[in-house]
Chain A
């Protein structure tokens, strides 16, 4: 019987994913031995989705005093980040798509490595919290065996590719964007052109223009499906947006092209990535998102640069290959569509049907939204949901940016049974897409940057609103609330009718949790406009303020007037008057509850705010790629110790190739992975130029690689492999020295 997951799943994982995880595990060992710089390791783990979590600097305020958390392991996994401190693991789900087997695996992993909770994020990914770094490699292996990756789920690279969860079944879409979103994910995963960004890069796909759909206008890059008749033929393509984003300074994306034909989708995106990598800000992380580059250059100049870049990119067959397999994502219903013969007499069915069920364009089929409070579901619920998906759908589940999960292709006649089964699993909460369906980022629960308890507030509002859901005016029910724990807008407060983001105020000599109120954002039209901050109120006043503002809207709105239009008509002064009724903070002695946050009984403190890892670490491309070479060289060493000489030889050779490639990338980004090309490019740029040459050893270290490359396929002995492993380590050292020489400031410059 296998005694490790690595052994058990060896043949179940894609080979390159498996190697990637082994490499990460070796980098962990190197970090623990202090042979890998903490910043490089931090970015390495972030690019594998392993994020830090609140209190990982080893301090936590317990409500009375700040306590030191004395973790047993002395090393760090990043700057001021304790090795043993629990972390967050993010997992990519392109377009939110998953099947029941994957959901079951998520349930297994949640209880074995996390806190039993599967959390759906506001970008259709999944997160676990309270994960120990030492558990991460096995967690990744088990995911990889089910076709799931965590690669580039965090860090400065291409993040999860999101798409409308109705793609393929939506009544208003131009066409199904699913295969395009998947192609985007596959093509850019680990791609050389997305390894040198100054910040993260978030893509999104939409099928239609006027709904919220994929929210493309708030993304770094957004694709809006379009068709055009060209020479009598209907052609598919995308309106391409760039430079959108929320964060502290929200920006609406600009149109880069009205129509990028489907054949050009990947190469044009690649050109955008190259321009961003080359010209985007690297040092000042507050201005390193692509939106700042687009703003700085202007969309016309940015478009010109992209077009120029596009012309230089060597053809890649993968740009077109997927277009021959678009039907790979076509879903076939498990059950024939049958109509519901009579209204079922199930308690709660009607209100659930009203809000949680959407009629697909395929007649007789429905999308059912499983409304998850705060995006959370337990392992036990996940097993039950997997059963429901298997029983009624063609194994099709999708997560949503509203932190819910949808079941697609449910036959109308099955809706009562689906409702019944969901109810038994505690998953039939009504109100999807209404005011009770509040999204929230993790906030102070687990985020290092959180200022106030966004989840605590969202939970409180949800409880109160759900209790009076039946009596709420329809105009109020249709509003949307989004809550962020700080100004960074991970909860998306800018695109809600009513948004809140956490901050604090000093009142009566104590720090009091507050939320800034943001009114009048729009999800429709793909996040068509952003709300405006109108003022901050104490956390504990927020529910009453919400009642007041929504009550006035219901009473004063004109026929058909949207919340945004009403807010604009009311004007800032009048809004401020409403707000002013809720700004007072009683003295601590008379209202101590105001000095604690929602869902957290500790007296409020901002002492736990740490350094966020959203921005990743700015680490040079060389540092990142050479770290891979070091990991492989370490594997070679292990193979040698375990007398697997042939493997030791191959790993040592690979490590040298990786190290050479690290240097070559600075001269030729298109070098690729082929050993012949790497060696020939290395020869051209570093041997012939003598850039790699040591002052005393001259070209000796370079010969280690060229000699082994020429001898590929020769018999390996214990001695030869031992020598090669040593040479690989020396070669890597020489690569480091070469990089240091090349990047050293000119003499006389400090």
Chain B
């Protein structure tokens, strides 16, 4: 299996969901304040008029961050695009993206917005060349994902399943972290 070139990690809102409009001034301010370390923040794109989209987008050189209305539930997504760590492995990319995504979430948690449910997330491989084709490859992806999530969340109580949906969609995993270790996350 190829190493994925683009990974999307989405965290979901529960009942209390912010409006797309709230992210426009917020993302512009993040650019002014250079809020995300290790990211060259470039611009803000407004697609709130498009249902099921990355409705409000903060574009960086390395990644995009978005208030995300795709799928059934709105959430916040971190999409890693480039500037990967030197180790070109699936494990390294997953762990790195997840760490960066959690950093972005941490910055978001400081804002006056509804909170995300961090115990439930989705990872999509936005790279159709890198979709696991065999059971062996799928097992490798599951192991690598579990390892990355365990590492970052500080728990092994994790359930992962493949998103069984429209076959045209990029390969994705749904992840539930059962016993979230708050201290590990904060660290």
Instruction: State yes or no: do A and B come from one complex.
Output: yes
**A425 vs B169: C-alpha distance when bound (angstroms):** 15
**A435 vs B50: C-alpha distance when bound (angstroms):** 19
Asked if A115 and B42 make an inter-chain contact with CB atoms under 8 angstroms apart, the answer reads no
Contact A378/B50 with A115-B64, A383-B169 known, Cβ cut-off 8 Å: yes
Which of B45, B61, B126 meets A111, CB within 8 Å? B126
| Contact code string B6-22 (vs A, CB < 8 Å = 1, else 0) | 10100000000000000
* Interface set, chain A 1-56, CB cutoff 8 A to B: 1-5, 8, 54-55
Residues of B within 8 A of A601 (CB): 24-25, 28
Asked if B82 and A63 make an inter-chain contact with CB atoms under 8 angstroms apart, the answer reads no
**A112 vs B49: C-alpha distance when bound (angstroms):** 21
Residues of B within 8 A of A610 (CB): none
Asked if B52 and A55 make an inter-chain contact with CB atoms under 8 angstroms apart, the answer reads no
Asked if B59 and A381 make an inter-chain contact with CB atoms under 8 angstroms apart, the answer reads no
Asked if A112 and B64 make an inter-chain contact with CB atoms under 8 angstroms apart, the answer reads no
Residues of A within 8 A of B49 (CB): 373-374, 376, 459, 462
Instruction: Answer yes or no: B31 CB below 8 A from chain A CBs.
Output: yes
Q: Nearest residue in A to B51 (C-beta to C-beta)?
A: A426
Contact A112/B28 with A71-B61, A380-B70 known, Cβ cut-off 8 Å: no
Which of A3, A64, A86, A376 meets B50, CB within 8 Å? A376
Residues of A within 8 A of B57 (CB): 115
**A84 vs B64: C-alpha distance when bound (angstroms):** 15
Instruction: Answer yes or no: B139 CB below 8 A from chain A CBs.
Output: no
**A107 vs B31: C-alpha distance when bound (angstroms):** 29
Stretch at the interface among B88-96, B106-114, B127-135, B141-149: B127-135
Instruction: Answer yes or no: B83 CB below 8 A from chain A CBs.
Output: yes
Asked if B168 and A383 make an inter-chain contact with CB atoms under 8 angstroms apart, the answer reads yes
Which of B2, B6, B8, B53 meets A378, CB within 8 Å? B53
Contact A381/B61 with A117-B47, A602-B28 known, Cβ cut-off 8 Å: no
**A112 vs B82: C-alpha distance when bound (angstroms):** 12
Asked if B32 and A63 make an inter-chain contact with CB atoms under 8 angstroms apart, the answer reads yes
Residues of B within 8 A of A426 (CB): 50-52
**A108 vs B40: C-alpha distance when bound (angstroms):** 26
Of the listed residues A2, A69, A107, A380, the one surrounded by the most CB atoms of chain B closer than 10 A to its CB is: A380
Which of B28, B59, B83, B128 meets A62, CB within 8 Å? B28
Of the listed residues B24, B50, B166, the one surrounded by the most CB atoms of chain A closer than 10 A to its CB is: B50
Asked if A64 and B32 make an inter-chain contact with CB atoms under 8 angstroms apart, the answer reads yes
Contact A69/B168 with A132-B82, A378-B50, A380-B71 known, Cβ cut-off 8 Å: no
Interface size on B, residues (CB 8 A): 40
Which of A3, A107, A455 meets B2, CB within 8 Å? A3
| Contact code string A96-130 (vs B, CB < 8 Å = 1, else 0) | 00000000100110011001110000000000011
Residues of B within 8 A of A462 (CB): 49
Residues of A within 8 A of B6 (CB): 112
Instruction: Answer yes or no: A287 CB below 8 A from chain B CBs.
Output: no
Asked if B47 and A376 make an inter-chain contact with CB atoms under 8 angstroms apart, the answer reads yes
Asked if B53 and A60 make an inter-chain contact with CB atoms under 8 angstroms apart, the answer reads no
Residues of B within 8 A of A63 (CB): 28, 32
Smallest CB–CB gap between A57 and chain B, Å?
Answer: 13
Instruction: Answer yes or no: A363 CB below 8 A from chain B CBs.
Output: no
Residues of B within 8 A of A218 (CB): none
**A374 vs B5: C-alpha distance when bound (angstroms):** 30
Asked if A84 and B31 make an inter-chain contact with CB atoms under 8 angstroms apart, the answer reads no
Residues of B within 8 A of A71 (CB): 40, 61
Q: Nearest residue in B to A3 (C-beta to C-beta)?
A: B2
Given contacts A86-B43, A383-B169, 18 further A-B contacts (CB under 8 A): A55-B42, A55-B43, A60-B43, A63-B28, A69-B40, A108-B168, A111-B8, A112-B127, A115-B57, A130-B64, A374-B49, A376-B50, A380-B53, A381-B51, A383-B168, A459-B46, A459-B49, A601-B25
A interface list, Cβ under 8 A from B: 1-5, 8, 54-55, 60, 62-64, 67, 69-72, 84, 86, 104, 107-108, 111-112, 115-117, 129-130, 132, 373-374, 376-381, 383, 425-426, 445, 455-456, 459, 462, 599-602
Which 8 interchain pairs have the tightest Cβ spacing?
Answer: A426-B51, A378-B53, A380-B52, A373-B49, A601-B25, A116-B54, A62-B32, A376-B50
